[in-house]
Amino acid sequence: MPSDSSPKNIAPPLHRLLANTADAVQAVRDGHSLTDWLSRCPADVRPGVQALSFTVLRRLGAAQAVRAVLAPRNPPARVDALLVTALALLWPGDTAYADHTLVDQAVHAVRQRAPNSAGFVNAVLRRFLREREALVAAAEADPVARFNHPRWWQERLRGDWPSAWEGLLDANQQRPPMTLRVNPAHDSVDTYLARLRETGIDAHRAGALFPQAVVLDEPRPVQALPGFDDGHASVQDASAQLAAPLLLGQRPPQDLASGEAWNVLGEGARVLDACAAPGGKTAHLQELAGNRLDLLALDADAKRLERVRQNLQRLELAGAVRAADARDTAAWWDGRPFDGILLDAPCSASGIVRRHPDVRWLRRPEDIPALARTQSELLEALWPLLKPGGRLLYATCSVFKSEGQDQIDAFLQRHGDARSRQFDQGAGHLLPLADNASQDFAPGGAAVTDGFYYALLQKV
């Protein structure tokens, strides 16, 4: 569990950040979500612990490999987590803390929770500093240490993307950009960019494929964004901003601030967002349709649905919200067919690893076929609820083909009344690679978009 909080308005000491970071890393090793753990972390250390945890998890394979060389016998779990945390932060290229400071504070943290291990940790870390170049070179001969992803994950990517798998692994190690979706009911993108500049925030457009998207040069708290509380903008990755346009029509008009509703399904169309939480795509649908959809947001997680309600309320958008498993249609469907269905299906999250660096360590090989079965069950349950002529958009934040193209190819084989709508851009597998010609880039050359898959199906 997170350690106790310190007095407010006092910067927490590094040894306390390291202790909490080690606890976060151990929680992930034990199979727990980093996001869930951080929600329980003391508020005064949470930002620092999140930043350090992200760094450690991006280097976990390498740090564990070096620890195995320096200390072949496994230390107690909490001591090992602190040791691995310190090794990851002492890795070449990290200049956040001076080496001697980090070693001193790591030993201090160990002394507070396992005094008898303080000398051992001190000796291991100092040996690492003396032999760092050779130890790093030796560790990187192991693919898990070199790429900091499990071997099975690498093999799956290599099979799906033989010419791009290494680039995908490298992309997962990058800091993701903070991307906003500008609300056309309040501002044009140019107007909002000017408002950001007035408040000292540098930003730029995400690219022609994402007409509402603005990328910040540096992440900022949402409280610092002009008009955020009043619904002028939302935080949403550029790839996720493709969902609503693809379901409602291929592309929106360029001038989204014109006030004109844009919705090929028609005013008052009945639309289902089947796995809606946290509600970014739900809200975007209503934004583009001028708040004139008959919209139902469904999710199996009642707790996460509160975020959907909050998003709709902040943006002053309409929509019914209900907790239910979309597959159990008898429990929630009223028998009226839908004009459009958005199925953002549960998946491996293999396309958003840079935002959730714990995902690679939490997933197991057997999870992928299990998730594919759930995706298939959702497609089968929801397809009969669609009107003839209606549209179903299938989406996953995955780069694994079994959760994307393979899933849809199999569905089309089973359903003669389904047709796949093709587009020049914005559908299929979107890979988070910096050389993707369909997008601009974040500062430093990183890809603007996360990895996603989209397929638009029409019932004939």
State the SS3 of the chain: CCCCCCCCCCCCCHHHHHHHHHHHHHHHHCCCCHHHHHHCCCCCCHHHHHHHHHHHHHCHHHHHHHHHHHCCCCCCHHHHHHHHHHHHHCCCCCCCCCHHHHHHHHHHHHHHHCHHHHHHHHHHHHHHHHCHHHHHHHHCCCHHHHHCCCHHHHHHHHHHCCCCHHHHHHHCCCCCCEEEEECCCCCCHHHHHHHHHHCCCCEEECCCCCCCEEEECCCCCHHHCCCCCCCCEEECCCHHHHHHHHHHCCCCCCCHHHCCCCCCCCCCCEEEECCCCCCHHHHHHHHHCCCCCEEEEEECCHHHHHHHHHHHHHCCCCCEEEECCCCCHHHHCCCCCEEEEEEECCCCCCCCCCCCCCHHHHCCCCHHHHHHHHHHHHHHHHHHHEEEEEEEEEEECCCCHHHCHHHHHHHHHHCCCEEEECCCCCCEEECCCCCCCCCCECCCCCECCCCEEEEEEEEC
Check 41, 275, 347, 397 and give the catalytic one.
397
Catalytic annotation on 397? yes
Mean pLDDT of the 359-380 span: 98
| Six token digits for residue 161 | 């993307």
> Distance between CA atoms of 197 and 191, rounded to whole angstroms?
10
Range from 124-133, 200-209, 249-258, 437-446 that averages highest in pLDDT? 124-133
Return the percentage of the chain with pLDDT > 70, whole number.
91
Mean pLDDT of the chain: 91
pLDDT tens for 84-116 read 999 999 999 877 899 999 999 999 999 999 999
pLDDT tens for 149-194 read 999 999 999 999 999 999 999 999 999 999 999 999 999 999 999 9
Return the percentage of the chain with pLDDT > 90, whole number.
85
Please give the domain boundaries of the chain with CATH numbers for all domains. Answer: 14-148 (1.10.940.10), 233-459 (3.40.50.150)
Mean pLDDT of the 116-143 span: 96
The region that residue 425 occupies, defined by phi over 0 for left and psi between -120 and 50 for alpha, beta otherwise, is: beta
Sole residue written with tokens 């001193």:
104
Q: Give the angle subtended at the CA of 109 by the CAs of 107 and 112, to the nearest 5°.
A: 110
Looking at the whole model, is its pTM more than 0.95? no
- Give Cβ neighbours of residue 224 (< 8 Å, ≥ 6 apart): 199, 201
pLDDT tens for 385-396 read 999 999 999 999
Is the model's pLDDT at 215 over the cut of 90? Answer: yes
Q: Give the angle subtended at the CA of 350 by the CAs of 348 and 353, to the nearest 5°.
A: 120
Q: What is the pLDDT of residue 253?
A: 43
Q: What is the pLDDT of residue 71?
A: 95
> Distance between CA atoms of 196 and 456, rounded to whole angstroms?
35
| Six token digits for residue 301 | 């997680």
Q: Would you tell me how many other CB atoms lie within 10 Å of the CB of residue 254?
A: 9
pLDDT tens for 9-45 read 578 999 999 999 999 999 999 999 999 999 999 999 9
At 208, the pLDDT band (50, 70, 90 cuts) reads: confident
